[in-house]
Amino acid sequence: MAFDFDSFAGDYLDDLKRTLSEVSKSQIESLWNEINTVSGSGGTIHMIGNGGSAATPSHSAGDWSKELGIPTIAHTDNISSFTAWANDTDYANVFAGQLSTFTKSGDLVIAYSGSGNSPNVLNGILAAKKAGCRTAAITGNYNGGNGGKLAGMVDVAIVVPTTSMERIEDMQLIINHIVKEATKANHGK
């Protein structure tokens, strides 16, 4: 039997539409408020994540720094620091090590994780909290986790209502674009 691409693509898009319609707009607004607070106080936004959830921080740090003028660092991008922490301590410390060096009280750390249970992301959030940072996460229900441990650790948790890692990752970028565009519109940029 031939693969039915049309049906497959339709199912993917239908689930993405459902996910878009069910995601919490009030939680997205809470993230937007956090970003405006950090921007207004001269703070920095720090982003962490693994795999596809590491690519979104890289993309968004470029957007937010350039288009919004908010200092934004993707701690997934400093490969020398990342691998030094992994090699010299443990992979679970790649974000905690960087964040303990780069963050200050009042900064915002945003974590991206499909399951919400990656040890390096969880340790990064613990380091951020120890430094006095505000914390947020865009996570999902991958492996039935309902945002995993991460959702309960952060100040603002957006739990994407799907078990599909692909849709979670789609939504991470969509949410970041919503927040960026809302910030631009609010400031007349």
In this prediction, residue 175 carries a pLDDT of: 98
- Find the CATH number of the domain harbouring 86: 3.40.50.10490
What mean pLDDT is predicted for residues 129-153? Answer: 91
Residue 144, in any domain of the structure: yes
From CA 153, how far away is CA 126, in angstroms rounded?
8
Q: Report the domain count for the chain.
A: 1
Tell me, yes or no, whether 115 lies in a domain.
yes
- Structural domain contains residue 123: yes
Average pLDDT over residues 145-162: 94
- Are 142 and 165 a contacting pair, CB within 8 Å? yes
Q: Is residue 103 part of a domain?
A: yes
The range of the structural domain enclosing residue 47 comes to 24-186
pLDDT in tens, 111-137: 999 999 999 999 999 999 999 999 999
Confidence of residue 1 (pLDDT cuts 50, 70, 90): confident
* pLDDT, mean of residues 57-76: 95
pTM of the predicted model as reported, rounded to 2 decimal places:
0.95
> Mean pLDDT over all residues of the chain?
94
Whether residue 52 has pLDDT greater than 70: yes
Average pLDDT over residues 42-69: 95
**Is the pLDDT reported for residue 188 higher than 90?**
no
Q: How confident is the model at residue 158 (pLDDT cuts 50, 70, 90)?
A: very high
Average pLDDT over residues 79-83: 93
The mean pLDDT value for 41-63 works out to 95
Using the predicted structure, report yes or no on whether residue 142 has a pLDDT greater than 80: no
Residue 139 inside a domain? The answer is yes
- Residues 6 or more apart whose CB falls under 8 angstroms from that of 101 comprise none
In-domain check, residue 17: no
Q: Judge whether 4 lies within some domain.
A: no
